[in-house]
Amino acid sequence: MASLLKNTAIYGLGTMAQKGVSFFLVFLFTHYLSPADIGIINTLQVFSVIYVFFLSFGLERSLYRLYHDYKDEESKRNFLGTINIGIVVISSIVVLLTFAFKGAVSSILTGIPFYPLIILGMCDALFTALTIVPRTLYQVEGKPAKFLFLTIGQVIVNVICVCVALFIGYRSAVSVYMATIIAYFIFFPINVIAIVKSMNFKFDKAVITTTLKYSLPLLPSLLSNWVINMSDRFFINHFYNLSQVGLYSVVYKMGQFVQLFATAILMSYNPMFFAMANAKEPDKNRIIKLHNDNIIALLVVCFIVAFISNDFIKLFLTAPYLNVAYIVPIVAFGYFFIQMNSLQNLAFHQSKNTIPLMVISVLAAVINIVFNYFLIKNYGIKGAAYSTVITQVIYFIIIYKVSLNYYFLTINFKVVTLYFLILSIIVFGFFKYVEPGWLSLIMKCMIILVIILMTYFKKIKQLYLKVV
């Protein structure tokens, strides 16, 4: 448990730096850019996320499960070399195909010109694909300090470049993306050095075949998750405009703040889970306890984000965003189910049965598209938030039922449901009856402190006794 907390804290710093800058920049954008420009940036970010999937075919994902299958140092270096060469080759082909079918790409990204904006979005995705392996490797090897260096280094350079562009008067979506690409160029050599030290320049056909057999079934799942989590922006742009996308993106980002802590917890827990699960005699009770502890921790994080969101928007953002602040709690609790799915997916990865996960993900994506179409068309951005939550709940129910056939990751639903109901009532009660502002924020912070003390009293007491 101590190791989990330590690594969570270190990964948390990296994740908070990486994703926290996104929230900081959104705050900055609301004061320097129009909602339409914010809409363009967010739409391109959504495009970049899906584009990364095609650039890498999910090869980097194989590190989590396959890296430790190679026992000696030389075979691990050959494995990493094959993955990196594979990503470079695949990325080159995909970029060429994108230019060949640029008309089709432009028709999907309505209102965003191919030159220069979509090309900048492609560059952003390309740099992400080429630099993701070293960070993933440090996570898999249990080297959070090196992971922290790569993550925070890139973040610092990116923030400096974007802030300089905004402060000297370059205030448009193009300027922001140009600054981001410049930041990638500056820090890229460090990523190259980090991975070159760990790999052999060797392409092994047997290794790439094994890796693709594992990663390709994950690709539909990753694409489906993209549809579920991000495709709503395209529907909002289609039925309304980029300004509405901008408003939705900002308040959605508030709810997405959950990921700052949830990702850190999962990044630390995943390697620990596989280590425990692959032991000669797995401690079933310990695995289930940690699984449920993570779920409660994620729920508390979702509650905190949802609870104080309208106060933050009232105090630090501009007036138009307060009008849609009610979306944040919906999104935050929706992200609770997203993280629940991520935890439950470990059962499929441990058993190496990713095809059922793929089928379920595709089904959930289809369901989400249907909900997005009808709810966004009739209810706008509120419909988009509800579409995500409804889909994630359905997705979780199916995932949980099927996952128990592969691994024993059971959930104590009595405790989780009780926490969920109590915390939800508190959030929506305050949203309805208490005016947001400094007084509300102070009251909420006191309530949050009481809830944390009640939830983790035994652990806090044990920690106190150890220190004393």
pLDDT (tens digit, 9 = 90+) per residue, 280-314?
Answer: 788 888 888 888 888 888 898 889 989 998 898 88
User: What mean pLDDT do residues 197-226 have?
Assistant: 78
Element holding 160 (H helix, E strand): helix 144-167
- Give the pLDDT score at 164: 93
User: What's the CA gap between 376 and 39, in Å, rounded?
Assistant: 16
User: What mean pLDDT do residues 410-431 have?
Assistant: 91
Identify whether 4 is part of a domain. Answer: no
Cα dist from 414 to 125, 296, 341, 437, whole Å: 42, 12, 18, 35
- Which of 7, 18, 266, 6 has the alpha carbon at shortest distance from 150? 18
- Give the pLDDT score at 442: 93
User: What's the CA gap between 272 and 2, in Å, rounded?
Assistant: 12
User: Which one of 160, 180, 213 terminates a domain?
Assistant: 213
Q: Number of folded domains in the chain? A: 2
Q: Are residues 152 and 175 in the same domain?
A: yes
8 Å CB contact between 235 and 372: yes
Identify whether 374 is part of a domain. Answer: yes
Q: Are residues 238 and 127 in the same domain?
A: no
* Angle subtended at Cα 149 by Cα 147 and Cα 155, rounded to the nearest 5 degrees: 105
* Angle subtended at Cα 193 by Cα 191 and Cα 194, rounded to the nearest 5 degrees: 65
8 Å CB contact between 240 and 380: yes
Share of residues in the chain with pLDDT > 90 (%): 17
- Token pair belonging to 127: 């740099």
User: What's the CA gap between 83 and 70, in Å, rounded?
Assistant: 14
pLDDT at 20 over 70: no
Element holding 37 (H helix, E strand): helix 35-56
Give the domain range for residue 290. Answer: 217-468
> Which segment of 119-133, 265-279, 373-387, 403-417 scores lowest on mean pLDDT?
265-279
8 Å CB contact between 411 and 298: no
Identify whether 3 is part of a domain. Answer: no
pLDDT tens for each residue of 252-282? 877 777 777 777 677 677 777 877 887 778 8
Name the residue with higher pLDDT: 439 or 153. 439
Band (138; pLDDT cuts 50, 70, 90): confident
User: Which one of 198, 213, 228 terminates a domain?
Assistant: 213
> Which segment of 101-110, 263-272, 323-332, 384-393 scores lowest on mean pLDDT?
263-272
Band (459; pLDDT cuts 50, 70, 90): low
Q: Are residues 46 and 131 in the same domain?
A: yes
User: What mean pLDDT do residues 118-124 have?
Assistant: 91
User: What mean pLDDT do residues 164-182 have?
Assistant: 90
User: What's the CA gap between 323 and 247, in Å, rounded?
Assistant: 10
Q: Are residues 203 and 245 in the same domain?
A: no
pLDDT tens for each residue of 225-249? 777 777 888 888 888 888 888 888 8
Identify whether 327 is part of a domain. Answer: yes
Q: Are residues 38 and 172 in the same domain?
A: yes
**How many residues comprise the chain?**
468
User: What's the CA gap between 21 and 153, in Å, rounded?
Assistant: 12
Q: Which residues contact 367 (CB under 8 A, 6 or more apart)?
A: 391, 394, 395
Q: Are residues 197 and 318 in the same domain?
A: no
- Give the pLDDT score at 319: 78
pLDDT at 224 over 50: yes
Q: Which residues contact 135 (CB under 8 A, 6 or more apart)?
A: 147, 150, 151
User: What mean pLDDT do residues 172-185 have?
Assistant: 91
Looking up tokens 């439950």 gives: 344
8 Å CB contact between 364 and 395: yes
Residue type at 28? L
Residue type at 345? N
* Angle subtended at Cα 324 by Cα 111 and Cα 363, rounded to the nearest 5 degrees: 65
Identify whether 9 is part of a domain. Answer: no
Looking up tokens 């094994």 gives: 210
pLDDT at 13 over 70: no
Cα dist from 1 to 4, 302, 458, whole Å: 5, 22, 14
- Which of 313, 231, 212, 285 has the alpha carbon at shortest distance from 42? 231
- Which of 284, 274, 286, 267 has the alpha carbon at shortest distance from 339? 267
Express the helix, strand and coil content of the chain in percent, nearest 5 each. 85, 0, 15
8 Å CB contact between 20 and 156: no
- Give the pLDDT score at 112: 84
Q: Which residues contact 143 (CB under 8 A, 6 or more apart)?
A: none
User: What mean pLDDT do residues 84-93 have?
Assistant: 89
Q: Are residues 138 and 260 in the same domain?
A: no
User: What's the CA gap between 350 and 65, in Å, rounded?
Assistant: 8
Identify whether 5 is part of a domain. Answer: no
Q: Are residues 336 and 451 in the same domain?
A: yes
User: What mean pLDDT do residues 168-175 have?
Assistant: 89
User: What mean pLDDT do residues 136-141 have?
Assistant: 77
pLDDT at 209 over 80: yes
Identify whether 457 is part of a domain. Answer: yes
First to last CA, the chain: 19
Q: Are residues 173 and 264 in the same domain?
A: no
- Give the pLDDT score at 98: 93
8 Å CB contact between 259 and 14: no
- Give the pLDDT score at 427: 92
8 Å CB contact between 46 and 109: no
Name the residue with higher pLDDT: 286 or 464. 286
User: Which one of 213, 242, 275 terminates a domain?
Assistant: 213
- Give the pLDDT score at 466: 58
| DSSP string for residues in 430-456 | HHHHS--SHHHHHHHHHHHHHHHHHHS
Q: Are residues 147 and 176 in the same domain?
A: yes
Identify whether 29 is part of a domain. Answer: yes
- Token pair belonging to 49: 């996320």
Q: Are residues 363 and 419 in the same domain?
A: yes
Secondary structure of 41-63 in HEC code, one letter for each residue: HHHHHHHHHHHHHHHHCCHHHHH
Judged by DSSP in three states, 200 sits in coil
Q: Are residues 276 and 233 in the same domain?
A: yes
- Token pair belonging to 298: 């994620």
> Which segment of 147-161, 379-393, 436-450 scores lowest on mean pLDDT?
147-161
